[in-house]
Every structure is written in structure tokens, then in C-alpha cells.
Amino acid sequence: MKMNNRTLFAFSVLLLAAVALAQKDTSALKPPKGAQVAIVVFEDLQCPDCRRAAPLVEQAAKTYKIPVIRHDFPLPFHNWSFDAAVIARYFDTKSRQLGIDFRDYMFEHQPEVTPQNLRGFAERFAAEHKVDLPFVVDPQGKLAAAVTADRDLGQRVGIEHTPTIYVVSNKTQGKPFVEVVDRSQLFQLIDAMKRGE
């Protein structure tokens, strides 16, 4: 079989795409132990689209009574998202719900936040929730390392934008996860995953 240059080029592109897909680490795209279906989100607290998606993800989780696994994926061109994720990790150490509440608080106030006033927003949140916020939130760098580990995981999964949302299941046959490309389809994708489709 003789191939012309266009056919050879197209074949090469498809082959490279297949290799790239095969090299993605999808081990994180599964529900937590004991859950049949979950939502996995890679988000950036400074991302306007993440802010828009968060209420829908929360509504879906409550409607279906399924867990949401949130991963920090701060984008390099956002100037306060990494620091906000570190502070969210601090609140996670107090309680998982407090960390979730802080992330939601940051989305709520996102248009007002700057690198200069981020600390003030965090202090206000801490005071409202009667939690101390130390002057140095992450003295040993463990929280920053956890955020970096999440970002690295997202890169291994192949995340290219935020938010990236998956509906995941514990099934071993077929496709155990699907990316939510059109958020208006989130509920239908959860229904399909729960039915085992």
C-alpha cells in the first residue's frame, strides 16, 4: 500500500494522539471507597469559569448524593490562585467542610480578590468561622507541596483547562469515567453512569 504525504501525516498525527492518550494517568479518575459514582473536578480558585461551574457541581452532588473530589490545578498565569489553594489546604486541616467552604467563599469573592488583599479575605473567613489563621500558614511547605502534587496529578491526567470535570464510577467494564464537556449534560451523564452505561 502506497501512502501519499497527507495520508502519512494524518496517520502520524493519529498515532501520536493515541500514544499520548495511552500515557495519561487516569488512576485518579475513580470514586472514593464506598461510592459507586462521584464527580472529580480539577479547578483553579482564580478561574472565572470554575466560579461559574462550582454551583452546578454542588447542586449535582446534592441531588444525586454523590461525593465531589476537588483537585487544585492553579494555572501559572493566575497571580493569587496558588496561594489561595495553600490557604484552602490549611482550612482542610481543620475540617474538610471548612476547606470546601473557603473555596466557595473565594469563588464568591473572586472578582474582588487581588494578591495584595487575599490574606485579608482569608482572615475575614477565619474570623467568621471562629478559626485562627496563623501569620505563616504553611511554615514547612507541606500544604504547598500538596497543591503542587495535585497540579502534577492533573498534568499526568492530561488536564489542559479549568475547570475539568469528570463523572467517574467504580465499574470495571466499559468506560469508568467521562469528561463533562458540555456542563448542561452533567445530570444526564451522572444518570448514565449510575445506570452503568
Residues 6 or more apart in contact with residue 28 via CB below 8 angstroms: 40, 71, 153, 157
The 3-class secondary structure across 29-66, one letter per residue, is CCCCCCCCEEEEEEECCCCHHHHHHHHHHHHHHHHHCC
What CA–CA distances, in Å, run from 149 to 17, 34, 55, 143? Answer: 25, 24, 25, 10
Q: Model pTM?
A: 0.84
Sheet with 164-169: list strands edge to edge.
68-72, 37-43, 164-169, 177-179
Query: Where in 26-176 does DSSP place strands (E)?
Result: 37-43, 68-72, 164-169
Predicted confidence pLDDT, tens digits, the chain (197 residues) = 454 555 444 444 344 444 444 468 888 899 999 999 999 999 999 999 999 999 999 999 999 999 999 999 999 999 999 999 999 999 999 999 999 999 999 999 999 999 999 999 999 999 999 999 999 999 999 999 999 999 999 999 999 999 999 999 998 777 899 999 999 999 999 999 988 76
Cell numbers found for residue 187: 445530570
CA dihedral 116, 114, 166, 148 (to 10 degrees): -30
User: What domains appear along the chain, each with residue ranges and CATH number?
Assistant: 5-195 (3.40.30.10)
User: Length of the chain, please?
Assistant: 197
> How many Å apart are CA 69 and CA 175, to the nearest integer?
19
What CA–CA distances, in Å, run from 146 to 67, 77, 132, 196? Answer: 20, 19, 21, 33
119 near 90, Cβ under 8 Å?
no
DSSP, collapsed to helix, strand or coil, labels residue 145 as helix
